[in-house]
Amino acid sequence: MEKDLEYIRSKRAFIIDMDGVIYHGNMVLPGAVDFVEWLSRSNKAFLFLTNSSERSPLELSQKLARLGIIVDPEHFYTSALATAGFLASQKPGGSVYVIGEPGLIQALYDAGFTMNNMNPDYVVVGEGRGYSLEALERAVRLVLGGARLIGTNPDLTGPVEGGIVPACGSLVAPIELAAETKAYFVGKPNPLMMRHGLRRLNAKREETVIIGDRMDTDIVAGVEAEIETVLVLSGVTRMLDIPRFPYRPKHILEGVFEIPLGAADDKEPTINKA
């Protein structure tokens, strides 16, 4: 076990998921503060690569600050940014109908897209509490009318303080079924996200490790990109889930509290809330 930890610590660059790794909802996970401080203290290159599309990098930075973790916005890359970048490469200056939160809408605006609920080029779905039957019906009509269906990420569920909630993949599914089509998902495990992550870190895959709590997005993304994988059991995936998948993580940890040197002596740090 110690050899595994030494190997993880030796990596120069870290790609890190957030939900289930750093926090659940508005509750920071044990050891997350120490882990991020260790990354900075050790001069590691690191990027929080999240499938969540709700918040902008600035908002994510502010959220972590409320949890006692100080990280500049430049250390965040979201599925909203990846989606906006992908669509801009496909149809510059296009239009979209969006079901999602301000982080997604702002990313699309910044990429040069306009909002259009009549005849958009794309219907884009992310996580959002504005999801309603009316929005669902409109999305189906627009897709049947020729708009292409895009999901920010394929996650079916996400972890919060109280357990598990539906995520983007679950919200897109009714539109796929009703419109008899399949969405294109931009977030992990799409290789686009991993390539963006490595470019932002200015790192090679051989010197990078990805840390996540999901076998079906984080770990498979690392496996397919040939990046060292670390599964933490602090989020969605449990040990008994792992045999169901045809691939395995390289390393399995209880949480990020195990990674910083000396952290094993204090596994129950104070829980902060945003």
| 3-class state of residue 250 by DSSP | coil
What span, in angstroms and rounded, lies between the C-alpha atoms of 151 and 42? 36
The active-site residue, picked from 19, 34, 216, 218, is: 19
- Which residues face 95 on adjacent strands? 114
pLDDT of residue 262: 56
What span, in angstroms and rounded, lies between the C-alpha atoms of 91 and 110? 14
The active-site residue, picked from 17, 155, 216, 218, is: 17
Tens digits of residue pLDDT in 159-170 = 766 777 888 999
The segments of the chain whose pLDDT lies below 70 read: 1, 160-161, 262-274
All structural domains of the chain: 2-51+188-265 (3.40.50.1000), 86-185 (3.40.50.1000)
From residue 49, how far is each of 38, 121, 160 by CA, in Å? 18, 27, 18
Per the annotation, the verdict on 72 as an active-site residue is no
Dmax (CA) for the chain in angstroms is 60
pLDDT of residue 165: 82
For residue 99, the surrounding DSSP H or E stretch is: strand 95-99
pLDDT of residue 263: 46
For 118, the token pair is 């009549």
Per the annotation, the verdict on 19 as an active-site residue is yes
